[in-house]
Copies of this chain bind each other. A is one copy, B any other.
Amino acid sequence: MTHMPVDSPSRDRIIHPATDTLDLATVMRAVGDPLRLAIVRLLADGKERTCNDLQQALGLPASTGSYHLRLLREAGLTHTRPHGTQRITSLRRADVEHRFPGLLQVLTR
């Protein structure tokens, strides 16, 4: 039997909070760390990035980068999707803008 295609619905899903459950204090706490704020700003150009991209850009060990990316994802700021052996992270621009209008502007100007 051949392998499942990339991004198959049958693979373990990465959990993302629903847009309308995002909590402002939780989001603020997430970006209240300089490293995580830097990640959000890197992602603000709308391009997707692998974990490695972000870890390299900030000079972090893999486990540390993974930890911070998890907090951003759980706060609802980012979306991560599997792609082969990589995971690709992007800013949840529309969702965050919908839930907290103006916030991204504040974070990224």
* Residues of chain A having any CB pair with chain B under 8 Å: 24-34, 37, 100-103, 105-107, 109
Q: Tell which of B25, B26, B101 touches A106, judged by Cβ atoms closer than 8 Å.
A: B101
| B residues in contact with A106, CB < 8 Å | 24, 100-103, 106
**Cβ contact within 8 Å between B25 and A32:** yes
**Cβ contact within 8 Å between A107 and B24:** yes
| B residues in contact with A101, CB < 8 Å | 105-106, 109
20 A-B residue contacts at CB 8 Å?
Answer: A24-B37, A24-B106, A24-B107, A25-B31, A25-B34, A26-B32, A28-B28, A28-B31, A28-B32, A28-B37, A29-B29, A29-B32, A29-B33, A31-B32, A32-B32, A100-B106, A101-B105, A102-B102, A102-B105, A102-B106
